[in-house]
Amino acid sequence: MALLGPNGSGKSTILKILAFIENPTSGEVIFQSNEVNYKNTEKERMQSTLVFQKTTVFSTSVYNNIAYGLKVRKVPQSTRDEEIKRALKLVKLEGFEKRNAKKLSGGEQQRVAIARALVLKTKLLLLDEPTANLDPKNAGILEEVIDRVNRENKVTIVMATHNMFQAKTVPHRIALMDEGKISEVGAPAEVFNKLSRNLASFAAIDNTFIGEAKITSKGTTIVNLGNNLQVEVADQKEGKVSIFVNPQDIILCQQAVKSSARNVLEGKIAEIIDLDSLVKLKVDVGKVFLVQITKRSFNELALNIGADVCIVFKASSVQIL
Amino acid sequence: MADILGEVIQAFQLIFTGNPEIEGIVLRSLFFSGTAVILAILWGTPLALVIALKEFRGKTIIKAILNTLIGLPTVVLGLILFLIFSRGGPLGFLGLLYTPGAIMLGQAILITPILISIGVSSIESVDPEIMNLSKTLGASESQAQIAVLKEAANGIILSDIASFNRAIGELGVVLLVGGNIAGGGNRTDVLTTAISRDVQISELGLAIALGIILVSILFIINISIIVLRKTNLIVETAKGSFAKLRKRKGELADQ
């Protein structure tokens, strides 16, 4: 199950309540037909675990990080060693036991965090935007792990995301959140269908835009987003629609280029968000697009705020709802 | 001038010939101040945890008071404690005045504000998510607090060392509640009070010797902290470059 919604819509809060580390201001939490209250929180907490959006590791070795929850559960040393080895293999960090967790890259730290949650084998696994700040390689590894655990261990996973692409492809069910409330729940296809009729509030999700769609003579769709901005989409759809472009599918260039991609938009860099191994850029081309590039490319292009750039993406990279 | 030089030479002679008088004073100083730090840790650390982690009214005022108390002249605190421990005072019945117990207790009280103050700021600088992280991994409230304390270990150790430095170099409290007794079974003269006495009775050689030892103790403590930190750093850097080397080897193998 995925929770989809813009920043500040309450995704993290609901996850913290489900992890029993925050109390709801009103209402009650029922977990496996038990009401969870101050008397049994510490016991119920053993059944669920949360991986935070902001990667947090204890400043000790990778082994000690992953062992923490097992030690609390009084798992014997031999079982512990085995479980930790297996979990590290799953997140592709074999042999990292003795490394200092704080000295790992952001992506590696987040993989340690996932391994640390997985060894506990809780009934409920909560993930708060686990891949939001990761480069595609690390994000890919994590998505694979999440998928595998969900299939093989039959763990219930609740994941928060504001990446439309992830919400559409990874989960079985999604819930839309806005201003602290769940507005829609259902299978992704079903919810996205409804979403197209009730779009306005979701414009806050990155790279999601609302526009007027028209099918062209070439069989593609042109979506007019306002501000003289048009985007060509491969799928056919008419009327009021919302579109989503995965930040990873956008190419950044310094000059307008001739390209086979149907969408070449010129604009200026409005904001630079420097993450561990990747950089997210907000590019204003009439509407603000979020673009994700590696740190290396960022340094090579020597970009700064206000620089003229151009973004390129294929018509087939645009999801239309 | 020649006199002073003579005293200095005598001081070094006293230090290097292993004078039992000096040895006793040094050991007493270390023992009293060490015990005071342990006492202060026992009550100061839980208090620091509470002040840093709990939200309550008056927290800012408590922090301000603690910071003020750090600068309290030791002779004033000594006077207050003297009045409390004296025969007519509220704790007079304990008969603590002019005993080693009074010195240790007095020093412990003196260093509590500094211990709590540095402790609080180092606990507060720990990532607030550590508490939630421990909990979501199954920790109880107190286990989560221990996890936070571990993350703050560097600052906590620093606060303990700073407290010891202050305790061993302190004069006012020890003089007023300890009495600087140089004879009998329960001697209460320590490095600082012995220096002050020896100057008054013109035993300058002894005073200089004790002064050199006191400064040396402080210097050794502080240099060992720096070295400990450095070696930790060296170990970490070594680990880092080793990892890089391994990675590079891996990349070469990939090609």
Domain ranges across chain A = 2-189, 247-314
Determine the pLDDT at residue B232: 61
Give one DSSP letter per residue of A261-303, joined into a string. Answer: SSEEEEEEEEEEEE-SSEEEEEEESSSEEEEEEEHHHHHHHT-
Q: A58–B141: do the CB atoms touch at under 8 Å?
A: no
pLDDT above 70 (res B249): no
Q: A56–B147: do the CB atoms touch at under 8 Å?
A: no
Average pLDDT, chain A: 83
Measured between beta carbons, which residues in chain A are less than 8 angstroms from residue B138?
45-46, 49, 69, 72-73, 120
Dihedrals φ, ψ of A310, to 5°? -140, 140
pLDDT above 50 (res B126): yes
Measured between beta carbons, which residues in chain B are less than 8 angstroms from residue A20?
135
Measured between beta carbons, which residues in chain A are less than 8 angstroms from residue B136?
19, 21, 45, 48-50, 126
Over residues A291-308, mean pLDDT: 86
Lowest mean pLDDT among A154-168, A277-291, B120-134: A154-168
Dihedrals φ, ψ of A261, to 5°? -70, 145
pLDDT band at B255 (very low <50, low <70, confident <90, very high): very low
pTM (two decimals): 0.70
Query: How many other CB atoms are there within 10 angstroms of residue B85's CB atom?
Result: 23
A contact set with B (CB within 8 A): 16, 19-21, 42, 45-46, 48-50, 52, 54, 56, 58-60, 68-69, 72-73, 99-100, 103, 116-117, 120, 126
> Which CATH fold topology does A2-189 show?
Rossmann fold (3.40.50)
pLDDT above 70 (res A195): no
CB A84 within 8 A of CB A95: no
Over residues B219-246, mean pLDDT: 66
Distance from the Cα of A18 to chain B's closest Cα (Å) equals: 10
Q: What is the pLDDT of residues A51-76, one digit of tens each?
A: 988 889 998 899 999 999 999 998 99
Measured between beta carbons, which residues in chain A are less than 8 angstroms from residue B156?
none
> In chain B, whose CA is at the least distance from the CA of A118?
B137
> In chain A, whose CA is at the least distance from the CA of B132?
A21
Q: A116–B137: do the CB atoms touch at under 8 Å?
A: yes
Residues 6+ apart with CB under 8 A from B253: none
CATH topology identical between A2-189 and A247-314: no
Lowest mean pLDDT among A217-226, B58-67, B238-247: B238-247
Residue B39, CA atoms < 13 Å, CB-side half-sphere: 20
Q: Specify the 3-state DSSP secondary structure of A217.
A: coil
Tell me the C-alpha to C-alpha distance, in Å, between residue A119 and each of A75, A88, A115, A122, A125: 11, 9, 6, 8, 11
Q: Which of A20, A56, A69 sits opposite B130 (nearest CB)?
A: A56
Distance from the Cα of B52 to chain A's closest Cα (Å) equals: 19
> In chain B, whose CA is at the least distance from the CA of A69?
B137
> In chain A, whose CA is at the least distance from the CA of B139?
A72
pLDDT band at A239 (very low <50, low <70, confident <90, very high): confident
Q: What is the pLDDT of residues A180-193, one digit of tens each?
A: 788 778 887 777 76
Q: Which of B136, B143, B243 sits opposite A49 (nearest CB)?
A: B136
Over residues A214-240, mean pLDDT: 85
pLDDT band at A257 (very low <50, low <70, confident <90, very high): confident
Over residues B108-116, mean pLDDT: 95
Substitution target from A39, A48, A68, A119 for chain B, most B beta carbons within 10 A = A68
Q: Specify the 3-state DSSP secondary structure of A208.
A: strand
Determine the pLDDT at residue B251: 53
Determine the pLDDT at residue A178: 77
Measured between beta carbons, which residues in chain B are less than 8 angstroms from residue A48?
136
Determine the pLDDT at residue B234: 53
Q: What is the pLDDT of residues A116-148, one digit of tens each?
A: 999 998 888 999 988 877 887 888 888 888 888
> In chain A, whose CA is at the least distance from the CA of B142?
A42
Determine the pLDDT at residue A84: 93
Structure tokens at A136: 């595609």
Structure tokens at B207: 């005073």
Q: Which CATH number fits domain B2-222: 1.20.1290.10, 3.40.50.720, 1.10.3720.10, 1.10.10.10?
A: 1.10.3720.10
pLDDT above 70 (res B250): no
Q: Specify the 3-state DSSP secondary structure of B81.
A: helix
Chain A CB within 8 Å of residue B146 CB:
no
Interface of B with A in 150-169 (CB under 8 A): 150-151
Distance from the Cα of A175 to chain B's closest Cα (Å) equals: 23
Q: Specify the 3-state DSSP secondary structure of B56.
A: coil
Q: A16–B132: do the CB atoms touch at under 8 Å?
A: yes
Output helix, strand, coil percentages for chain B, rounded to the nearest 5: 80, 0, 20
Give one DSSP letter per residue of A182-206, joined into a string. Answer: EEEEE-HHHHHHHHTTS-GGGGGST
Determine the pLDDT at residue A201: 52
Q: Which of A42, A46, A58 sits opposite B151 (nearest CB)?
A: A58
Domain ranges across chain B = 2-222
Query: How many other CB atoms are there within 10 angstroms of residue A24's CB atom?
Result: 12
Distance from the Cα of B112 to chain A's closest Cα (Å) equals: 27
Over residues B113-136, mean pLDDT: 92
Q: In this predicted complex, what is the ipTM? A: 0.70
Over residues A282-302, mean pLDDT: 86
Interface of B with A in 196-215 (CB under 8 A): none
Substitution target from A16, A23, A39, A58 for chain B, most B beta carbons within 10 A = A58
Q: Which CATH number fits domain A247-314: 3.30.413.10, 3.30.479.20, 3.90.1150.10, 2.40.50.100?
A: 2.40.50.100
Residues 6+ apart with CB under 8 A from A8: none
Measured between beta carbons, which residues in chain A are less than 8 angstroms from residue B135?
19-21, 45
Over residues B185-197, mean pLDDT: 90
